[in-house]
Chains A and B, each alone.
Chain A
Amino acid sequence: MDESGLVNGCKRGDMLARRRLYELYAEKMLALCLRYTNNDDVAHDLLHDGFIKIYSAIATFRWLGEGSLRAWMSRVFVNLCLAWLKKRDLLRAPASLEAVNMADDEEPEISEVPFAVLMGFVNELPPGYRAVFNLYVFEEWSHKEIAAKLNINEKSSSSQLLRARQLLSKKIKDYIKRHG
Chain B
Amino acid sequence: MDNEKMLQEFRNRRDEFHVELRAEVWERLEAELSALPSRRVVVLRRFAVLAAAAAVVALLSLPLFFTSDRPAGDVVQAPPVPAAVGQPDLPAEPASVAVEPAPVAVAQMRPAADARRHPAIPVQTASLQPPDKQPPDGDTITTLPEEHQASENKNTRQYDGDARNDAHSAPAGKKTAVPSADEPFPKPTFIPKATPPSRPWTVAMNVGSNGLRSSATGAGTGQYSKNTNTAPSESSLQMLPKGDGPIVITTLAPEGGSEDTEYRHYLPLSIKFAVHKELGDGWTLGSGILYNYLYTEVLRHNVSNGTQKLHYLGLPLSISRQLFTAGSFDFYASAGGTIEYCLSAKRHIGRKVKDISLTRFQPSLNLTPGVQVTLFNSLSLFAEPGLSYYFNMNDALETFYTRRAATFNLQTGIRYTFN
Residues of A within 8 A of B (CB): 11-13, 15, 18-19, 22, 26-28, 30-31, 34-35, 43-44, 47-48, 51-53, 55-57, 59-62, 64-65, 67-68, 70-72, 74-80, 83, 104-105, 107-108, 110-111, 115-116, 118-119, 122, 136-142, 144-146, 148-149, 162, 165-166, 168-169
Once the chains bind, are B260 and A107 in contact (CB under 8 Å)? Answer: no
Chain B residues near A122 (CB, 8 Å)? Answer: 10
In the complex, residue of chain B having the shortest beta-carbon distance to the beta carbon of A135: B301
Once the chains bind, are B231 and A148 in contact (CB under 8 Å)? Answer: no
Chain B residues near A104 (CB, 8 Å)? Answer: 1-2
Given A55-B36, A64-B396, A65-B396, answer yes or no on A48-B28 (Cβ-Cβ < 8 Å).
Answer: yes
- What mask results when residues 238 to 278 of chain B are scored 1 for a CB within 8 Å of chain A, else 0? 00000000000001111000111000000000000000000
B38 interface residue, CB < 8 Å from A?
yes
Chain B residues near A136 (CB, 8 Å)? Answer: 7
Once the chains bind, are B22 and A52 in contact (CB under 8 Å)? Answer: no
Given A30-B21, A44-B22, answer yes or no on A51-B29 (Cβ-Cβ < 8 Å).
Answer: yes
A-B contact count (CB 8 A): 157
The one of A12, A53, A137, A145 that contacts B232, using a Cβ cutoff of 8 Å: A53
CB distance from A12 to the nearest CB of B (A): 6
A67 to B29, CA, bound (A): 24
How many B residues, CB 8 Å from partner? 52
The one of A31, A53, A55, A107 that contacts B19, using a Cβ cutoff of 8 Å: A31
A15 to B14, CA, bound (A): 29
Once the chains bind, are B259 and A68 in contact (CB under 8 Å)? Answer: yes
CB distance from B187 to the nearest CB of A (A): 72
Once the chains bind, are B231 and A78 in contact (CB under 8 Å)? Answer: yes
CB distance from B261 to the nearest CB of A (A): 9
The one of B10, B19, B37 that contacts A138, using a Cβ cutoff of 8 Å: B10
B165 interface residue, CB < 8 Å from A?
no
Chain A residues near B38 (CB, 8 Å)? Answer: 12-13
In the complex, residue of chain A having the shortest beta-carbon distance to the beta carbon of B13: A115
B198 interface residue, CB < 8 Å from A?
no
CB distance from B234 to the nearest CB of A (A): 8
